[in-house]
A and B are shown apart, each in its own frame.
Chain A
Amino acid sequence: MASLLEVQDLHAAHEGESGRVPVLNGVDVGLEAGQTLGIVGESGSGKTVLVRAMLGLLRPPWRIERGRVLFDGQDLLAKSEDELRLVRGRVIALTTPEPRKHLNPLLRVGDQIVNVLRAHSDIARGAAYARAEELLSAVGIPDPKRRLASYPHELSGGMCQRVIIAMALAHSTRLLLADEPTAGLDVTISRQILDLMHDLVRNSRTSLILVSRDLGVVAHYCERVAVMYAGRIVETASVPTFFAGAAHPYSRHLIRAATAARDARPLQATVAGESVAPASAAGCAYATRCPVAFARCRSEQPLLEPLLEGHAASCFRKAEVAAGRIGA
């Protein structure tokens, strides 16, 4: 299968009054057509910035400094805003972690969906409203005809997210970027939303990148997983391979934390050190928290290199970690 999306060495930074803060430090990740990829990382690892960068949406003070985003072989970052407009919402679509904030508060939901429909096709208004009603029904909103006339503030958080998903799937997109679609939603609704998204994507053969803080979610709904830490992808693997033998100490930590939470056990090995800070010094960013770091880790940056076919990690000791001999 041809590679659908390939992000190469993406660097991005935030330039504010306090100086330059690196946010993406060389992201390498990709997926093939028809695949589902989950990107896992803590808050501050740069997940949302990555997703927005892929569509060329970053605006000052955020800036892309280096790298390429190849979609179907073409670099999206080299395209003009007008060219990108033809891609966004039509070929690649986006959802957001805060659905209500991203809907126009003064416009009816139906009108907003129709605007997205008419932005990329010549559909007549009447037909557009009919299609909008279909979309609302497809995302599981009851009484869709009446809901077309609702305003965002009249909808619950879950329903707003469904509307966002409807807007993302209005056109037959080839890739859906789902940025933390269940943030702020309670467990039952989250489950429904994820199931919905999964079904829709499978039925329409859309590829999916699911960004989440929850490893369990990624494990359940995705074929492949990519772990993000401090603005870099530190490991990519298929989900079975990942859980059988993750090759990066941070991945191991995430797995431990996820299983401890699931089993409601207290987490045995606590990791010392601060929360994620974008790497500015040389060396592996995880070195300060890593239980198996040695001298080389602090002075040299490990690259994301394949361990096996389809399994890559950026760790000097990846083979040992994967085999479970250390850092387990």
Chain B
Amino acid sequence: MSDPALSPTVAALAGPRTPPRALRAFIGFARKRPSFLIGLAIVVITLFLAVFGPVVAPYPPERALPGVGLRPPSIEHWMGTDAAGMDIFSRVIAAPRIDLTIALASSLIAFVLGVVLGVVSGFFAGAPGLGRFLSEGIMRSADILQAFPIFIFALALVGFRGPGVENVIAALAFLNIPYFLRVTRGSVLQVRERPFVEAARCAGNSELRVAFVHVMPNALTPALANISPGIGFAILLTAALSFVGAGVPKPTPEWGSMISIGAPNMMTGQWWTAFFPGVALGITVLGYALVGDGLRDYLDPVKRS
């Protein structure tokens, strides 16, 4: 049964959504959701560490200290040391720099390209001529890419291009495009039916202009809501690639490669070498996921009405 408070006529006549009375509404929303605040705190901390991590670390993150190999957690070394004598705590807080750089860069690229392709694909879907060909082509390509499990394809891309940060960024960016593409396309398919779009057309705007100036800003919501979880996912992928040796090269502190360095020690009982980087990974990805959840609920117009 339909909600008596919602009039379909009013909803249909609604023009482009005005941005929420940003700061106050946002703070009010955030205060009611502790999970979102926790996630936000985690994100802020990781961003801080990305910039200042290596600087505030008690020990140099890439220098092996002689004679302190495999020490358990203690006052001098909060998280212990690994086999080569590197302080784990310093490396754990220095790792966000590389992980976040890769994740942010690849997510940004994927977002931009994914949204643009999504707008084209959604706006010209079913239209005659070149537009439809483009739209169909984009969708078919995204579909066939789905046949490859993401990690395996990332592995292949890095494997065939060679390890190194740029290649990891490029691989992750490429693999995350379909995700932003799909949600944007879905959103565009809905937004383009709204009356104000027809109005923009009648005003004499070219199709491209209508697509990108009028439709796109109002179709961004789902993509925006998915950036944060996308970043978390990129971090996991980077760690996985580095774990198998196909990501960030060894001495650079990175959570995944730290786990791989510490793996043999896990079995002989020195749990701290691989434990802490994993915990850091889990907390970080969780934080980005919580922020993503919160943003998605906040930006969802149905929920807020």
A positions within 8 Å CB-CB of B: 14, 16-18, 21, 23, 44, 48-49, 62, 278
Contact residues in B for A44 (Cβ distance below 8 Å): 4
Select one of B3, B4, B303, B305 contacting A278, CB under 8 A. B4
Cα(A17)–Cα(B3), bound, Å: 11
- Tell whether, in the assembled complex, residue B4 and residue A23 are in contact, meaning their CB atoms are under 8 Å apart: yes
- Tell whether, in the assembled complex, residue A49 and residue B305 are in contact, meaning their CB atoms are under 8 Å apart: no
Main secondary structure of the interface of B (DSSP, over half): loop
Cα(A16)–Cα(B304), bound, Å: 11
Q: Output the least CB separation between B103 and chain A (Å).
A: 35
Contact residues in B for A62 (Cβ distance below 8 Å): 1
* 6 pairs, CB–CB < 8 Å, chain A vs chain B: A14-B4, A18-B5, A21-B4, A44-B4, A48-B1, A62-B1
Tell me how many residues of B have a C-beta within 8 Å of chain A. 6
Contact residues in A for B1 (Cβ distance below 8 Å): 48-49, 62
Cα(A80)–Cα(B5), bound, Å: 30
Given contacts A16-B3, A17-B305, A49-B1, 14 further A-B contacts (CB under 8 A): A14-B3, A14-B4, A14-B5, A16-B5, A17-B303, A18-B5, A18-B305, A21-B4, A21-B5, A23-B4, A44-B4, A48-B1, A62-B1, A278-B4
Q: Output the least CB separation between B4 and chain A (Å).
A: 6
Q: Of all chain B residues, which has the CB nearest A277?
A: B4
Mask of B1-12 contacts with A, CB within 8 angstroms, 1/0: 101110000000
Cα(A23)–Cα(B3), bound, Å: 11
Q: Output the least CB separation between A223 and chain B (Å).
A: 29
Mask of B77-107 contacts with A, CB within 8 angstroms, 1/0: 0000000000000000000000000000000
Q: Output the least CB separation between B32 and chain A (Å).
A: 12
Cα(A23)–Cα(B5), bound, Å: 10
Determine which residue in B1, B4, B303 has the highest number of CB atoms from chain A within 10 A of its CB, and name it: B4
Q: Output the least CB separation between B2 and chain A (Å).
A: 9
Contact residues in A for B4 (Cβ distance below 8 Å): 14, 21, 23, 44, 278
Contact residues in A for B305 (Cβ distance below 8 Å): 17-18
Q: Of all chain A residues, which has the CB nearest B304?
A: A17
Contact residues in B for A23 (Cβ distance below 8 Å): 4
Contact residues in A for B3 (Cβ distance below 8 Å): 14, 16
Contact residues in B for A17 (Cβ distance below 8 Å): 303, 305
